């Protein structure tokens, strides 16, 4: 059984309902949730790009301003962790 099937959903009256039936009974709700998910996905991609850009800036700071090397390394490490080590 998938996580979606295990999760309890409720209709507008508070009755337990499956996700399948909730979407069929409340298509406007489903549409709004999908649109919000799409916005969130786009925003996550934008933030990941910004963090990647920041990492490269911090690498430049680390290289050109050795007195800030420790702080730059911490920030780079944090950014890599947020990005899941992809960079």
When the pLDDT of each residue in the chain is averaged and rounded to a whole number, the result is: 82
Please identify every stretch of the chain with a pLDDT value under 50, giving residue numbers as ranges. Answer: 87
Residue 78 within a domain: yes
Domain hosting 78: range is: 3-82
Distances (CA, A) of 71 to 7, 55, 59, 85: 43, 12, 11, 18
* Residue-level pLDDT at 3: 59
Residue 87 within a domain: no
Global pTM?
0.57
d(CA 56, CA 78): 13
Q: Which two tokens stand for residue 33?
A: 């949730």
Residue 32 within a domain: yes
Residue 64 within a domain: yes
* Residue-level pLDDT at 60: 75
* Residue-level pLDDT at 52: 81
Number of domains in the chain: 1
């Amino acid at each position: 059984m998938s996580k979606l099937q295990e999760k309890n959903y409720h209709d507008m009256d508070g009755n337990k309902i499956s996700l399948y039936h909730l979407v069929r009974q409340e298509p406007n709700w489903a549409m709004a949730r999908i649109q919000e998910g799409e916005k969130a996905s786009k925003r996550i991609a934008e933030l990941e790009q910004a963090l990647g850009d920041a990492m490269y800036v911090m690498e430049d700071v680390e290289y050109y301003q050795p007195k800030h090397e420790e702080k730059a390394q911490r920030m780079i490490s944090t950014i890599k962790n947020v990005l899941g080590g992809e960079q």
